[in-house]
């Protein structure tokens, strides 16, 4: 019975150990961007600390192995359980030391986790098990636990519980292991009553954290965004937050501002009308990204449009902007219009599996801040988009800022050209973002800005549209290489360009 419980403990310990690693990596990716860098650095630091922990475990005396295992479990439970909450609060209220707190926390937790398996193996050894049996059983369940959490974390825990609550849950499991180990081996451990009380205190702290993690998240995000949060959720793909300050609604994805209701009309009118206005014959439109429905709102102003297909990865995003009254008012109910079909799928995968041709394509992806998004700005994906574009149609791509991120902007232009399209770059000023850029592309060689705007607009008119295509002397065109899938130089340009702005 005791051996079976120890094996179950190994399964839980392994699951929790990997869980803390995934939580720290995901939280760093949400808050800092560049998921590959964050996951790589956190995993590297964590594994290095585990190696040191394994080495340190040899200094635990044989007669103290069981006691130290229980102590380590309680320490891992407490530190790992509160780690996500502490990191989130540090980022929201004390952003300067966040990286230091991240890696110090990861190192300490990794150090403790690294001691767990060697100590369990020594417990088995003291029970006269054969060495090959110890290694086989412990490592088998160690790897099984890692497999289980690697599947459950992205599919269930992160989207349903959120990172903070998931962290507290793993802590509760670690503390439970310490508690039942104390009870089962009460005749062999020193001061079992004291250990049981400590385990109960840790469980109480983590239980309270689990219950009130929503309040902690709201408080942290209040510090992060400054405004009242009217909606926040962690989905399978991202963290969504909508804030309100007086009449200003703002959407944040993973902490990054996506729009402000006070000036989003400048962005979305500039995104849609320079291209669609010169296509009076257009009937069928494709929107990639843009799950907020604001680009669709502008498209539906044209009476000639018969159908709009919106492809956005996250169903939580499109559901939010289809059901929330203030957000539906903002997009004028665009996502519920009978002319609109909403599809929740990866844009690249969807383009590969469908063959329909569109008169106008709007590409409104988030900025290429990581390799997952950078893939959508690559030559192969633009080739796919070109296959879906009518011979006389136009495609428009949001392309970051030509002022703040000029290498990124002109790399997108070069990538579209590499995909066989002709391009017409332009830009506009959006107060929330500064100078922002777009690129119109087509298989056809001709384009002239429309002489008038025939639909209601708040910002654009015939004069303004022509000015969009003029770049001043301090925003010259740059000769940049295209963004190829195997190297994704655009992601590096984007990171380096914006780092200069932040400094």
Active site residues: 364
Contact 274, 283 (CB under 8 A): no
Q: Which DSSP string do the residues of 70-89 spell out, in sequence order? A: HHHHHHHHHHHHHHHHHHHH
Question: What are residue 233's DSSP bridge partners?
Answer: 240
Cα end-to-end distance, the chain, whole Å: 60
Contact 375, 348 (CB under 8 A): yes
Measure CA 356 to chain center.
30
d(CA 7, CA 11): 6
Residue 181: how many other CB atoms lie within 10 Å: 24
d(CA 336, CA 243): 23
Question: What are residue 310's DSSP bridge partners?
Answer: 287, 342
Token pair 């018969």 in the structure block, residue:
306
Question: What are residue 289's DSSP bridge partners?
Answer: 364
d(CA 78, CA 72): 10
d(CA 225, CA 95): 12
- φ/ψ (deg, to 5) at 309: -105, 120
The DSSP 8-state label assigned to residue 254 in this structure reads T
């Amino acid at each position: 019975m005791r051996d079976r419980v120890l094996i179950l403990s190994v399964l839980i310990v392994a699951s929790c150990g990997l869980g803390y690693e995934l939580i720290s990596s995901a939280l760093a990716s949400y808050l800092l961007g560049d998921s590959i860098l964050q996951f790589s650095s956190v995993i590297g630091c964590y594994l290095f600390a585990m190696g040191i922990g394994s080495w340190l475990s040899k200094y635990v005396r044989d007669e103290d192995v069981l006691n130290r295992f229980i102590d380590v479990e309680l320490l891992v439970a407490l530190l790992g359980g509160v780690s996500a909450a502490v990191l989130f609060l540090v980022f929201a209220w004390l952003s300067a030391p966040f990286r230091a707190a991240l890696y110090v926390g990861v190192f300490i937790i990794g150090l403790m986790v690294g001691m767990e398996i060697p100590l369990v193996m020594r417990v088995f050894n003291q029970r006269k098990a054969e060495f090959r049996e110890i290694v086989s059983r412990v490592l088998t369940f160690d790897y099984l636990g890692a497999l289980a959490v690697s599947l459950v974390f992205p599919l269930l825990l992160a989207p349903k519980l959120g990172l903070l609550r998931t962290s507290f849950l793993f802590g509760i499991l670690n503390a439970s292991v310490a508690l039942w180990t104390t009870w089962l081996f009460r005749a062999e451990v020193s001061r079992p009553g004291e250990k049981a009380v400590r385990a109960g205190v840790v469980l109480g702290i983590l239980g309270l954290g689990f219950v009130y993690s929503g309040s902690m998240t709201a408080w942290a995000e209040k510090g992060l965004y400054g405004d009242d949060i009217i909606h926040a959720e962690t989905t399978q793909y991202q963290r969504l937050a909508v804030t309100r300050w007086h009449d200003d609604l703002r959407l944040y994805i993973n902490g990054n501002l996506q729009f402000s209701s006070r000036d989003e009309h400048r962005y979305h009118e500039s995104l849609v009308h320079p291209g669609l206005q010169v296509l009076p014959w257009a009937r069928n439109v494709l929107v990639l990204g843009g799950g907020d429905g604001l680009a669709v709102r502008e498209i539906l102003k044209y009476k000639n449009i018969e159908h709009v297909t919106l492809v956005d990865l996250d169903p939580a995003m499109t559901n939010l902007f289809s059901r929330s009254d203030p957000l539906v008012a903002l997009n004028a109910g665009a996502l519920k219009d009978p002319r609109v079909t909403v599809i929740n799928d990866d844009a690249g995968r969807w383009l590969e599996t469908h063959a329909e041709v569109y008169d106008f394509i709007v590409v409104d992806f988030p900025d290429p801040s990581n390799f997952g998004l950078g893939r959508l700005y690559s030559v192969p994906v633009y080739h796919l988009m070109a296959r879906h574009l009518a011979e006389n149609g136009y495609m428009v791509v949001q392309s970051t800022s030509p002022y703040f991120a000029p290498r990124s902007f002109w790399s997108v232009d070069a990538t579209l050209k590499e995909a066989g399209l002709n391009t017409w770059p332009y830009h506009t000023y959006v107060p929330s973002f500064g100078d922002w850029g777009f690129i119109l592309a087509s298989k056809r060689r001709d384009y002239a800005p429309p002489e008038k705007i025939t639909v209601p607009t708040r910002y654009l008119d015939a004069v303004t549209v022509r000015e969009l295509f003029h770049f001043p002397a301090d925003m010259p065109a740059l000769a940049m290489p295209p963004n190829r899938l195997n190297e994704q130089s655009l992601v590096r340009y984007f990171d380096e360009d914006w780092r200069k702005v932040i400094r």
